[in-house]
Amino acid sequence: MRPNDHAVVNLGGIRKEISVALVSDVKVGDYVIVHVGHAIGVIDPEEAQRTLELFAQMEALAQAEGNAP
Amino acid sequence: MKYIDEFRDGDLARQIGARIVAEAEPGRQYSFMEFCGGHTHAISRYGVLELLPPNVRMVHGPGCPVCVLPIGRIDLAIRLALERNAIVCTYGDTMRVPASDSLSLTRAKARGGDIRMVYSAADALATARANPQREVVFFAIGFETTTPPTALAIRDAQRDGLANFSVLCCHVLTPSAITHILESPEVRQLGTVPIDGFIGPAHVSIVIGSAPYEHFAEEYRKPVVIAGFEPLDVMQAILMLVRQVNQGRAQVENEFTRAVTPEGNLKAQALVSEVFELRPAFEWRGLGTVPYSALKIRSAFAAFDAERRFQLAYTPVADNKACECGAILRGVKRPTDCKIFGTVCTPENPVGSCMVSSEGACAAHYTYGRFRDQA
C-alpha cells in the first residue's frame, strides 16, 4: 500500500501502481480487478472456489455418464 | 495467473460445451446477446462458438465503449485540440475512431493537435498539474466501469482547486442501452433479432451489482446471467441460459459471484452520483438518441465540465454510408454482412467504429474468426 489511496499490484510478474480509492477495505494480498488503473472490485476467494467446484462437478458428471467427448 | 488460468481450462470448456449440446433441445433455437464487448472479445478469441451446437447462437451487443461513441462527440474533442489549443487526453481506443473530415484523434494529432493517450483519468489529471499554463481536457468515454475513475478525477480536481482541468463527459449507461434494444422494433415487432436471454457484463456488474437487471428479467421475461470475462465463465453462463429457457424461467443469475454482489460497489456508486446526473438524451452510434442513457457533470462541478467551459454545442453527424456498424451494434447484422468488412475496413484502417477496438464485433471477428468462415 502506498499513500493517497495507491497500491502496487502484481500483474503476472509486472508491478504497477494503481488507485484503490474506489474500493473499501483492501489489504495486502487481496486480489483486485483493475480497470483503467483503478481497482473496482475485490475477488472473493470463497466464491471463486465455489465456481471452480461447480466446474469440477461437471467433470465428474461427464465421467459418470461415460460419454465425455 | 491465479483466478485467470483456472478459468481458461480447455478440457473443462469442452465438457461444458458437451453439457450445452446435451441440454439444448434439438427443435429449439437459442439466441443470446452478450451485451459487453469484453465478452465479444472472449467469445472470438477462445473459439467459444465452436463448442456450441448450431442451434445456440450468440448475438453481439452494443457494449463496446468506442463503438457506440457517435462521430459528433469525437468532432468536439478534435476541435478542442485544433481550434482551442487544449491538451486533449483520452483512452487509447478512442484515438483511432473515424470522425468528420477524414480525421480521427490520431490524425488530428498529426496535424499538430496536442492529443495524448492516457491509461487512466488520473493520468489526465497529472497532465493538467504538469501543464498549469494550458487547458487540459479529459475526453471521458465508457460505461459504468470507467465512470467512477472519471468522478474521482473531477472530485480531486475540485479538492485541489485545479483551474485548468475539465472533462468532456461521454459516459453511458448499460441498463438503458439494454432497455432500448428490447424496445427496438427489430426485437419487439419485426422479430428479426430474436433474443432469448442476455449474458450480463462482468466489470460493469462489479460496479452496479446484479440488482439493476431484475427489471429486464421481470418486465421483458428475458433471463440474464452475469458472467466473468474468462472463457469458462462465458460457457457456464450459456449453459445457465439454456437451462433457464428450457425450464421457462426468466431470472437474474450470477455466474461471476467471485466479484459481483447484488448491490455492487457502493463506494464507487456514491462517488458517481455525487459528481454526475442523468442526461435527458444522448446519441449513441447505432442506437440513435436514447433517453436518460448517459451522464453529465452536476452543476456543483460545472467548472470542470468542458461542455460548459468551452460552450460546446453538439451536432450529430451521419456515419459512412457503406458502414453497417449501426445494424451490427443492434444485433441486426453480423460483421460479415457488411460489404466493406475486411476489405476497405480493417483494424489498421477502420471505417466504422466496430473495427477500432479489440472489443468491437468487427475487429474481434477480423482478428480471430475470419479464417474460420472459409474453413
Q: What is the ipTM of this complex?
A: 0.90
| Predicted confidence (pLDDT) at residue B373 exceeds the cutoff of 90 | no
Claim to verify: residue B75 and residue B110 sit in the same structural domain: yes
Considering the domain architecture, whether residues B197 and B53 belong to the same structural domain is answered as yes
Report how many Cβ contacts below 8 Å link chain A to chain B.
103
Asked if residue B78 and residue B157 are part of one domain, the reply reads yes
CB contact under 8 A, B1 and A67: no
With residues binned 3-state (H G I as helix, E B as strand, rest as coil), the percentages for chain A, rounded to 5, are 30, 30, 40
Residue that terminates a domain, selected from B254, B282, B297: B254
The per-residue pLDDT for A60 is: 82
Name chain B contacts of A51, Cβ cutoff 8 Å. 233, 236, 255, 257-258
B164 lies in the same domain as B305: yes
Q: What percent of chain B has pLDDT over 90?
A: 82
Indicate whether B122 belongs to any domain: yes
Domain match, B119 and B196 both: no
Residues B227 and B302 in one domain: no
B259 CA: distance to closest CA in chain A (Å): 5
Q: Which amino acid is at B237?
A: A
Can you give the pLDDT at residue A66? 62
Are residues B53 and B78 both part of a single domain?
A: no
Answer yes or no: are the C-beta atoms of B262 and B251 closer than 8 Å.
no
Retrieve residue B129's grid coordinates: 498539474
The DSSP call for residue A2 is B
Q: Tell which CATH architecture fits domain A6-64.
A: Roll (2.30)
Please indicate, yes or no, whether residues B159 and B272 belong to a single structural domain of this protein: yes
Structural domain total, chain B = 3
Domain boundaries, given as residue ranges, for chain A: 6-64
Asked whether residue B360 is assigned to any structural domain, the reply reads yes
- The domain that holds B194 is classified in CATH as 3.40.50.11750
Question: Do B49 and B181 belong together in one domain?
Answer: yes
Q: Does residue A68 sit in helix, strand or coil?
A: coil
Q: How far is B43 from chain A (nearest CA, A)?
A: 18
Across the interface, of A12, A22, A61, the residue whose CB is closest to B265 is A22
Q: What is the mean pLDDT of each run of 10 residues along chain A (69 residues)?
A: 93 93 94 96 95 86 65
Contact B82, B113 (CB under 8 A): yes
**Tens-place pLDDT, residues B196-220:** 999 999 999 999 999 999 988 999 9
Distance of alpha carbon B337 from its chain centroid, rounded? Answer: 21
Regarding whether B150 and B79 lie in a shared domain, the answer is yes
Same structural domain for residues B48 and B111? Answer: no
Placement of cell 483519468 in the chain: B121
Determine, yes or no, domain membership for B314: no
Across the interface, whether the CB atoms of A38 and B3 are under 8 A apart is answered no
State the residue range of the domain holding B193. Answer: 5-64+175-254
Are residues B21 and B96 both part of a single domain? no
